[in-house]
C-alpha cells in the first residue's frame, strides 16, 4: 500500500469503479422502500458520483427486525468466538485484496487525498478489524471471590441490536472502529453512514457477506439524519447506539434514548484541542512538524486536530517561522494526485462554514484563501475570546494564542467546553507529566501529536464524549452487558440442618 500510483492510474481506477447505490439489509442490496434517492457528490469537482437509496423510518423498522431475528436465532451471536474471528479475518483479507478500489472510492466520496487513503485510512481500517478479530477469543470472563458454598461468574454477553452512526471525516476508519468490537462481541448492527460519505460502508457490507457474516447481522442504511438517524435513535428494539459526530447531534441522541427505551448511548464528539508549546521545548523544527500534521492532516476535518496552538512568548516567533516552512510542504489540489496533502472539504455547506471563520479580524499569519471547496492551510493569531479560539472550525485553520508561563498555558488549554485530545511540548519531563495530568482531555501526548493506537482507548471528557471509549479492549464494553451467574453449592441436607 505504500507504493503509490500516478494520478492518471488513480483516475483510471475511478473511471472503472462500480459504485454501490442501494441499502444493504439482510444480506442483499435493496432500494429504499419509498423509492427515493439522493445524490452523493465528489466535493473536489462538484460532480454527482451516484444516486443512493434515501432510506427512511420504514427501512429502519425492516432492518431492525432482520437484525433482531439474526441476533435471537444465534446465527452470529452464539457462534463460537473463534468462528466469528475467522470470518472477520476473512473480511480483512478481502478488504486488503480490494484496498486500492476502497481507497479511490473513499477519496472520490469525501475529498480526502489519495495519499491519506492509501497510507493511513485503508491500512488502519484493516488493522483495526484484524485486531478486534484476534481479541475475540482472548477476552476472559471472571469468577468473583465467594464462599465455599457458592460460585459466582461474571460473564459478558452481546448487548443485542446496535445502531452505529458514522461521521463523514473518516468514513472507513470510523466504520471499523465500531463494527470491529460490535461484531466481535456477537451483536447485530445497523450502520447509518454519513449522508455525504456512504459508498465505502456499502461496499464493506458486501465484502462482509462474501466473508461469511450471516444475513441480518451487518446492515447499512444510507440517508439523512432526520430520516434514518433519528428513527434509529428512537427505535424501541435497538439496544444500544454508538455515535461519532458533532456535539449538537450527540445531544439529540441522548434525548432520543431518554424519550424511547433508554438504550445505551456512547458518544464521541467534537474537540478544540490544544497544543501547548513551552519555551524549553527541544528541536523546534520537530515540534513544528507535529503541529502542522496535527492541524492540517485530513484538511483539519479531525475531531482530535491540534486546532489551538498555545505557545509561550519566548519561542513564538521562532516556532511560527518553522511552522510556516513545514506547512509549505503540504500542497493542496486534486485529491487523486498522490503529491497533494490537502484535498477538498467534504461539502459546499461545510466549506461555507469554514470560510465564515476566515477574514473576521484575527491577524492572518499564513494562508487564508479559499476557492471551489478547497481551503489552504491557514494560521491565525487570535485572542483567547475570539470565535476561532473557542469554536470547533473543523477545517485547516490553526489558531495561535500567546501565554507567559506554564500555569497560564494549562489554564487556557482547559478553557473550553471540549476535552478530547491535547499535546504538550517541553524538555522538562516533570512539567510534561504535570501538564498531561492537569489537562482535562481523554488523550494527552507529550512532545508529539497523536491519538495513541488501536490498543489505547479513545474518547473525551466534557462535551467531547460520553458513555464509553473507542479502540482498545475498552471498546468492547460498549457492545456487551455484564451478567452475574450465582451458583449455590450447599447440599440440601446442610441447608436443612442450618
Query: Catalytic residue numbers?
Result: 268, 303
DSSP 8-71: HHHHHHHHT-----SEEETTEEE--TT--EEEEE-TTT--EEEEEE---HHHHHHHHHHHHHHH
Interatomic CA distance for residues 366 and 329, integer angstroms: 13
Cα gap 311→55, rounded to integer Å: 48
Q: How far apart are CA 118 and CA 11, in angstroms?
A: 14
E strands, 83-197, are: 142-144, 150-158, 161-165, 188-192
Q: In whole angstroms, what is the distance from residue 344 CA to residue 108 CA?
A: 10
C-alpha cell at 35: 423509492
DSSP string, 217-286: TEEE----IIIIIHHHHH-TT--EEEEES-HHHHHHHHHHHHTTT--EEEEE-----EEEE-TT-S-HHH
Helix axes 199-211, 81-97, angle to 10 degrees: 130
Rounded CA-CA distance 156/158 in Å is 7
**Among 240, 212, 250, 178, CA closest to 91:** 212
Cell numbers that stand for 214 in this block: 450471516
Cell numbers for 180: 470491529
What is the C-alpha to C-alpha distance for residues 186 and 427, in angstroms, rounded to an integer? 46
CA angle 382, 386, 387 (to 5 degrees): 120
Please classify residue 68 by burial: count the beta carbons closer than 10 Å to its beta carbon, then call 0-12 exposed, 13-18 middle and 19+ buried: middle
Q: DSSP E strands: which ranges in 354-395?
A: 363-366, 370-371, 374-375, 378-381
Amino acid at each position: 500500500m505504500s507504493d503509490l500510483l500516478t494520478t492518471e492510474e488513480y483516475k483510471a481506477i475511478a473511471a472503472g469503479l462500480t459504485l454501490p447505490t442501494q441499502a444493504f439489509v439482510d444480506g442483499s442490496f435493496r432500494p429504499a422502500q419509498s423509492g427515493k434517492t439522493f445524490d452523493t457528490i465528489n466535493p473536489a469537482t462538484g460532480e454527482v458520483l451516484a444516486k443512493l437509496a434515501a432510506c427512511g423510518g420504514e427501512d429502519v423498522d425492516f432492518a431492525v427486525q432482520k437484525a433482531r431475528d439474526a441476533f435471537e436465532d444465534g446465527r452470529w451471536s452464539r457462534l463460537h468466538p473463534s468462528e466469528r474471528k475467522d470470518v472477520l479475518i476473512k473480511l480483512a483479507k478481502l478488504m486488503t485484496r480490494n484496498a486500492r478500489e476502497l481507497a479511490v472510492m473513499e477519496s472520490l466520496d469525501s475529498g480526502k487525498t489519495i495519499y491519506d487513503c492509501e497510507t493511513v485510512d485503508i491500512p488502519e481500517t484493516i488493522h483495526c478489524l484484524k485486531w478486534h478479530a484476534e481479541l475475540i477469543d482472548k477476552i476472559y470472563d471472571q469468577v468473583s471471590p465467594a464462599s465455599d458454598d457458592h460460585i459466582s461468574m461474571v460473564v459478558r454477553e452481546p448487548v443485542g441490536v446496535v445502531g452505529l452512526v458514522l461521521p463523514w471525516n473518516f468514513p472507513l476508519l470510523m466504520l471499523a472502529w465500531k463494527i470491529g468490537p460490535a461484531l466481535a462481541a456477537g451483536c447485530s448492527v445497523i450502520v447509518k453512514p454519513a449522508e455525504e460519505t456512504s459508498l465505502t460502508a456499502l461496499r464493506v457490507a458486501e465484502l462482509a457477506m462474501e466473508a461469511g457474516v450471516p444475513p441480518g447481522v451487518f446492515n447499512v442504511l444510507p440517508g439523512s439524519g432526520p430520516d434514518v438517524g433519528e428513527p434509529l435513535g428512537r427505535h424501541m428494539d435497538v439496544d444500544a447506539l454508538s455515535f461519532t459526530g458533532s456535539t449538537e447531534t450527540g445531544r439529540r441522541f441522548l434525548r432520543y434514548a431518554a424519550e424511547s427505551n433508554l438504550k445505551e448511548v456512547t458518544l464521541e464528539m467534537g474537540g478544540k484541542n490544544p497544543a501547548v508549546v513551552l519555551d524549553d521545548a527541544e528541536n523546534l523544527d520537530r515540534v513544528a512538524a507535529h503541529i502542522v500534521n496535527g492541524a492540517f492532516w485530513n484538511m483539519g476535518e479531525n475531531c482530535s486536530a491540534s486546532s489551538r496552538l498555545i505557545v509561550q512568548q519566548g519561542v513564538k516567533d521562532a516556532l511560527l517561522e518553522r511552522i510556516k516552512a513545514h506547512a509549505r510542504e503540504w500542497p493542496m489540489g486534486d485529491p487523486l494526485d498522490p503529491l497533494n496533502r490537502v484535498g477538498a472539504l467534504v461539502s459546499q455547506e461545510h466549506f461555507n462554514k469554514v470560510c465564515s471563520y476566515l477574514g473576521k479580524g484575527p491577524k492572518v499569519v499564513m494562508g487564508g484563501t479559499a476557492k471551489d471547496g478547497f481551503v489552504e492551510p491557514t494560521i491565525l493569531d487570535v485572542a483567547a475570546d475570539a470565535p476561532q479560539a473557542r469554536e470547533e472550525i473543523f477545517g485547516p485553520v490553526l489558531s495561535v494564542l500567546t501565554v507567559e508561563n506554564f500555569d497560564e498555558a494549562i489554564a487556557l488549554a482547559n478553557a473550553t467546553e471540549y476535552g478530547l485530545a491535547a499535546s504538550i511540548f517541553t524538555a522538562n519531563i516533570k512539567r510534561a507529566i504535570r501538564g498531561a495530568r492537569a489537562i482535562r482531555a481523554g488523550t494527552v501526548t507529550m512532545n508529539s501529536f497523536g491519538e495513541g493506537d488501536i490498543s489505547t482507548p479513545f474518547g473525551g471528557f466534557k462535551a467531547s464524549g460520553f458513555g464509553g471509549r473507542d479502540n482498545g479492549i475498552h471498546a468492547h464494553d460498549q457492545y456487551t452487558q455484564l451478567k452475574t451467574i450465582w451458583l449455590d453449592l450447599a447440599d440440601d441436607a446442610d441447608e436443612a440442618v442450618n
